[in-house]
Amino acid sequence: MSEEFVVATAQRLQPQLVSHFMQLIQSNHLAHAYLFNGADGTGRQEVARTVAMRLFCQNVTDDGLPCGQCPECRRIMAGDHPDVVSVVPDGQRIKVDQVRYLKAEFTKSAVEGNQKIFIVDQVDRMTTGAANSLLKFIEEPVGNTVALLLTANKNLILPTILSRTQIVDFIKVAPQALTTALAKAGIVPSQRYLLTTLTESVSAAQELVVDDWLANAQTAVGQWFTACCDRDERAFVRVQTELVPLGSNRDRQGVVLDMVVQVWHDALRQQANAVDPTDLAYPQVAPVSQRVAHQLSIDRLVTIMTETLATRGQLAGNLNFQAILEALTLQILAQMR
């Protein structure tokens, strides 16, 4: 992504936040620690880079934005600026050697000037020990430093860090705008609504459809849902044979659990009124979700929804993916009797 495109994307997705931070920098009122809380696709990385570029830009535009062309802006985008320290997870976690690197950088002053900025993406993937090391820096910053901590879910951040940072909640992308963007990206109609519930990023959506992963997952979850609605105990078997293989890593496991939430949300939405299949996450099982919507009481459907929503927290608590789905299946079958 080019320097100019980063700034343009940040402005398109979060115009008010970009304007706010440019004014803070201009007036020298930037705080030393922020938590950018926003789902993938809301522009948290782009806004963070725009802030970093503005701090060092040599040719700020008349609008108060970084130029995107000067050597400083280009070095920041290339990850080659000694006073802009960026860390992203290496795999599923921010690892020990990355934490050591951060801690070492925390103790150093700026190399080329009097300003230093840290950008830590997906900070929720730090271990508790690493997060506590970060907390020490936030409480006792060295010199003129700014920390931008980025997360898609502030609920996974230690309360001690939340209390010591200024939390910036990023505005979600309008579903209709995302649907239009997905259509332009070539996503088939039957997958668009589901994708708007899973991500706010077109690029992330495109990753999910590679090698028909999403299509296969949509079919597997739909068949598991149908078995549950039919009180078919083979739904339990489908967990191991069809759902678990979809979760090849922690991220995909989370997506599968989110998809399970959405298939039951389809049913809940049809409790009061019929919903056009094109506006459902699982149009292929629309008759089944409509049937179960009228078969179960609102209390039972809400109970099922509550149980499905709890699975994400269980995964974050390092419970086994298969065990989470098997327990959920048994709970749902109990509600269907």
- Report the amino acid identity of residue 152: A
Chain center to CA of 254: 10
- Correct CATH for 3-169 of 3.30.70.141, 3.40.50.300, 3.40.630.10, 3.50.50.60: 3.40.50.300
pLDDT at 111: 85
What pLDDT score was predicted for residue 42? Answer: 85
pTM: predicted TM-score of the whole model, two decimal places: 0.63
Distance CA 217, CA 179 (A): 20
- What is the reported pLDDT for 292? 95
Q: Which stretches of the chain score pLDDT less than 70?
A: 1-4, 91-92
Q: In whole angstroms, what is the distance from residue 128 CA to residue 96 CA?
A: 12
Q: What are the extents of the domains in the chain?
A: 3-169, 175-336
Locate 23 and state its tokens: 């004014």
What's residue 278's pLDDT? 83
CB 200 within 8 A of CB 41: yes
* Cα(165)–Cα(147) distance, integer angstroms: 9
Q: Which fold has domain 175-336?
A: Zinc Finger, Delta Prime; domain 3 (1.20.272)
